[in-house]
Chain A
Amino acid sequence: MSEAREYKYIGQRSIRPDGFDKVTGRANYGADMTLPGMIWGKILRSPHAHAKIKNIDTSKAEALSGVLAVATYQDFPTADKKADLARNILADDKVLYHGHAILGIAATTSAIAERALDLVDIDYEVLKPVMDIRDAMAADAPLLHEDMITEGYAEAPTTASNVATRLEMKMGDVEAGFKEADVIVEGDYYTPTVHQGYIEPHACVVRYDEDGQSMIWCCTQGHFDVRGSTANILGMNLSKLKVIASEIGGGFGGKTTIYLEPVALVLSRKSGRPVKMVMDRDEVFKASGPGSATRNWVKIGAKNDGTITAMQAKLHYEAGAFKGSPMMMGCMTAFTPYAVENMYVEGFDVVVNKPKVAAYRAPGAPQAEYAAEMVVNEIAEKIGMDPIELRLKNAAKEGTQTIYGPKFKAVGLVECLEAAKNSPHYKAALKENQGRGLAAGFWFNIGGQSSVTLNMNPDGTGTIVEGSPDIGGSRASMQLMAAEEMQMPAENFRPIVADTEHVAFSAGTGGSRTTFATGMAVIEAAQDVIRQMKERAAAVWNVTAEQVDWADGVAINTAGEDRLTAAEICKGAERTGGQISGRGNINARGAGPSFAVHLCDVEVDRDTGKVDVIRYTAIQDAGKAIHPSYVEGQLQGGAVQGIGWALNEEYVYGDDGLLQNPGFLDYRVPLASDLPMIDSIVVEVPNAFHPFGVRGVGESGIIPPLAACAYAVSQAIDAPIRDLPCSPPSVLKVIQENS
């Protein structure tokens, strides 16, 4: 890419094309669809955290007038039946968490379906629940899966345990590194189970036709993934299943998997009717996929001049009821903001009687980096060095070797740290009972497969047909990137998210990939259109395509004076070979990592332990901000989710393993009145692999707040914080123990 490139369209704060529908209430989300003859499905969920299902009797429920179908695990036909995903969607012979789905019932009204659930008789053998990593790893722990042997040891253990996987990553020699250190700090850190907290509950409307042709309308981050997973569980051919992505009311990773869709399709097949299923809010909390609770130990050594000599961690992630926590991501990210030769990280993926975790914004990274950043701050304090200077001295930069393999190309950590240092926030004075915390965050970002078709209309306008659900304004970015590449006004392009039958496979919206990867596909499709435009113009002028230039949306004959606008070429397309349509079907490589640095000021009420965030600045490298407002929005939104994680959000389970706070009343996400403005500083260190330099920005912003907030609290109360959340009872306890 050219560094000096002047952009005409990208970087503008345009009005998002889907915005009008959203501010008027017209936009259709998961639960907003209705089909003729539609009936309602509800899920029966486990009242126990851990139990064997001895018998299920649905006869009374089926006899209730208005009940049209019942679906159980036995209705999943495939060889892949034992797969965790299927057993999470409907329990087989064991329920593994409070709220674990057992069966679905469809009835003519949701009220009748709910009444029918009460008529199902189930015999349970209640087992002791395992609710914490320590309990789960104890020698005598009850086992969730009696056949689970820990993977990842050179020699496989001979007995089953609740540890699914053990992983190790290393560089250099940490023991030698610690020997070089003047100061060593270590600590144990806990982070609780948290939920993405999207406002829109999971919902779908499905229809199974007599010939097996099926349709799913649902809110998802990846409708091709819904198609693949559902077809797999139900043994269907992909061409039989069409998935339409509705507008999506938040996901943050939580809508990258499926819960209701296969059950709804079975109910539709059995009843011969379209079926709608919508989770209640308590079902979302109890039985969708929260983020892992973790217990992490970190040890870091440094010289008195600030050189970090060794970094070591032992990370334990709760996977929930089935293996597959983002523990590996934690191992890969924990120390990656630092260019340190000696690193050793060991990770454990542990099952407990909680819902199977799903992705949550930079999955795995906030927990590990929380512990690491807390210890880095403590090192800075111990050696009397400014925390930004300490980080600048050790910052990862171009050429730094990462623990997970590649060396960094150009990255923006140093630039983010400099921006923090120069910010008015960092220079502002603090008052009594106030504290300031700073932390860095690293996230890889991903690329992957995206497919785009750019269909030109006879008037020279075009439709951008993409397959990436738009969760935060990405259609605006696609429009701007098409405009930039075509050198034509953004409003000439209408971006739409097509269903699985109208665009080729596209990976889901996750990993901060859409603006990067689908954006590249849009650019490629636009280039394809330009190429065809030039060919058509060349044919009209009787020159070669190479003799045609493209500038400001106009084909120019370099061999003469001729000009043809896009509109003129499209209008004449009928005579030059048919309509023009560009294609960009890619597997994008080269996603640029995005670093973030956050500053947080808090004030603590020492009498109650209550923490108020009084000032906050989020700084992040966007590579190139296509739509600056929505980039800032990602920084701010990530910061506030992280603030919630740091301060008040947590799943509270009783000793019986039952979730005590499955609602927004007691799962306390931040409110408008809890917060100050979130200042955002967008740093732009271009990603060399993207035509415009784009890096994904969606995830890094949730990583630094945990340590930035917790460290600010520890500064305000002059006592160490280890466990999250910094809820009032927990902070007051630390204050009292240290005074």
Chain B
Amino acid sequence: MAVVEYKVPQSVGEAVEMLTDKTARVLAGGTDLIIQLRAQNSDPVIAVDIKKIDSMMTATMDGNGLTLGPSMSCAELTAREDIKAEFPGLVEAAYLIGSTQVQGRCSVGGNLCNSSPAADTIPALSANAAQCVIQGPDGERTVAVEDFVTGVGTNCMATGELLTAIKIAIPAAGTADAYLRFIPRSEMDIAVAGAGVSVTLDADGKCTAARVSIGAVATTALLVTAAADALIGTSIDDAALQAAADAASEASKPISDRRGTAEFRRHVVGVLTRRAAKIAADRAKEK
């Protein structure tokens, strides 16, 4: 493994300065980075451990919504009842990453920055219209989560930039989310397909807004407006659910690999969309 230097910045400013070195890599939980560096026998890398920066490791829920420190461990996040109450789907997605051991280290920000097509939290973030706050040498910018990931393992971050917060606004009344993924075992696998859904129901149970994002079926997570449209205006009955499922399958562009065939993924992402939308709708009714 090619880590040749280990640095511990105490502030975002210090971290950004360290990250202007092209060989620098952010070390948060390390559950992707350390594996990748070992597997690749890569060129020399400076590990910048940002876990001593308080804002990277904490989350706040207030009237503006959720401000999530990107490196807060999923174990800490999933223990936060206040966040779970508002965004159960996001917390479920975070909970699904890896084993108990991995949960103690992995983070939503890490999952996002690793930018795997199969990342569990990305469809869940996207369903909640999350925004990514990025600090660079020249200042701060904010991008929608759909624009953050640009391809398999690539994202919009330039050298010197650090993801400093993930923000989700408090949703409209009657809104709830859900995330489901498919894996061959009960745990420990990478998603073969995933679906994050958020729906808003009015007092009559009519769907007035929806977001559907699917994972592991294209080079990036896909926000499927056709699937959302299939739900909007309905009472999320079986026909609407099936239409959303079909739209998700239709929108998917999966590949065949060691985790599943393309046709399997296309089918299952529809099943997951249907099931997740049902769960989200049931939750919205409770709200």
Binding site for B on A (CB under 8 A): 111, 114-115, 118, 607-610, 612, 648, 652, 660-661, 664-666, 668, 670-671, 673-674, 727-729, 732-733
Contacts and interface: CB of A to CB of B under 8 A. Distances in A.
Contacts of B182: 608, 610, 728
Interface in B12-60: 41
A728 B258 contact: no
Contact of B271 (A111, A607, A660): A607
B264 A729 contact: yes
B72 interface: no
Q: Nearest 8 CB-CB pairs, A to B?
A: A729-B264, A652-B258, A660-B258, A673-B186, A607-B271, A661-B258, A673-B187, A674-B186
A674 B185 CA distance: 6
A674 B183 CA distance: 12
A670 B184 contact: no
Contacts of B192: 728
Given A648-B184, A673-B187, 9 more contacts: A660-B258, A668-B184, A668-B185, A670-B185, A671-B187, A728-B268, A729-B261, A729-B264, A732-B268
Contacts of A610: 182, 184
A729 B1 CA distance: 35
Given A665-B189, A668-B189, A729-B264, A660 B184 contact: no
Interface of B: 1, 41, 182, 184-190, 192, 257-261, 264, 267-268, 271
B190 A665 contact: yes
Contacts of A733: 264
B69 to A, nearest CB: 27
A660 B185 contact: no
A732 B258 contact: no
A612 B183 CA distance: 12
B41 A114 contact: yes
Contacts of B1: 111
Given A729-B261, A729-B264, A608 B187 contact: no
Contact of A671 (B186, B258, B261, B268): B186
A392 B19 CA distance: 72
Residue with the highest number of chain B CB atoms closer than 10 Å, among A118, A607, A664, A727: A607
Contacts of B261: 729
A739 to B, nearest CB: 13
Contacts of B260: 728-729
Contacts of B268: 607-608, 728, 732
Residue with the highest number of chain A CB atoms closer than 10 Å, among B182, B184, B260, B264: B184
Main secondary structure of the interface of B (DSSP, over half): loop
B41 A666 contact: no
Contacts of A607: 268, 271
A193 to B, nearest CB: 13
A640 to B, nearest CB: 13
Contacts of B184: 610, 648, 668, 727-728
Contacts of A652: 258
A670 B182 CA distance: 16
A610 B188 CA distance: 15
A648 B260 CA distance: 12
A118 B2 CA distance: 13
Contacts of A666: 189-190, 258-259
A661 B258 CA distance: 7
Residue with the highest number of chain A CB atoms closer than 10 Å, among B186, B190, B192, B271: B186
A114 B39 CA distance: 12
15 contacts: A607-B271, A610-B184, A648-B184, A660-B257, A660-B258, A666-B189, A671-B188, A673-B186, A673-B187, A728-B184, A728-B192, A728-B260, A728-B264, A729-B264, A732-B264
Contacts of B187: 671, 673-674
A665 B190 CA distance: 8
Nearest to B275: A607
A114 B38 CA distance: 11
Contacts of A648: 184-185
Nearest to A669: B185
A672 to B, nearest CB: 9
A118 B258 contact: no
Contacts of A661: 258
A607 B273 CA distance: 12
Contacts of B189: 665-666, 668
Nearest to A117: B41
A612 B188 CA distance: 16
Contacts of A608: 182, 268, 271
A115 B2 CA distance: 10
A546 B186 CA distance: 65
Residue with the highest number of chain B CB atoms closer than 10 Å, among A115, A671, A728: A728
A57 to B, nearest CB: 20
Contacts of A673: 185-187
B188 A665 contact: yes
A732 B270 CA distance: 14
A660 B190 CA distance: 14
A609 B187 CA distance: 17
A671 B185 contact: yes
Contacts of A728: 182, 184, 192, 260, 264, 268
A610 B275 CA distance: 15
Contacts of B188: 664-665, 668, 671
A610 B189 CA distance: 14
B164 to A, nearest CB: 30
B95 to A, nearest CB: 13
Contacts of A118: 41
B235 to A, nearest CB: 22
Nearest to A282: B39
Contacts of A732: 264, 267-268
Residue with the highest number of chain A CB atoms closer than 10 Å, among B189, B258, B259, B271: B258
A607 to B, nearest CB: 5
Nearest to B38: A280
A732 B192 CA distance: 14
A157 to B, nearest CB: 37
Residue with the highest number of chain A CB atoms closer than 10 Å, among B187, B259, B261: B259
Nearest to A661: B258
A729 B184 CA distance: 9
Nearest to A675: B186
Residue with the highest number of chain B CB atoms closer than 10 Å, among A609, A652, A729: A729
B267 to A, nearest CB: 7
A668 B257 CA distance: 14
B255 to A, nearest CB: 12
A671 B98 CA distance: 13
Contacts of B264: 609, 728-729, 732-733
Contacts of B185: 648, 668, 670-671, 673-674
A607 B186 CA distance: 16
A660 to B, nearest CB: 4
A668 B267 CA distance: 22
Nearest to B264: A729
A450 B4 CA distance: 52
A728 B272 CA distance: 14
A293 to B, nearest CB: 16
B41 to A, nearest CB: 7
A664 B258 CA distance: 13
Nearest to A733: B264
A610 B186 CA distance: 10
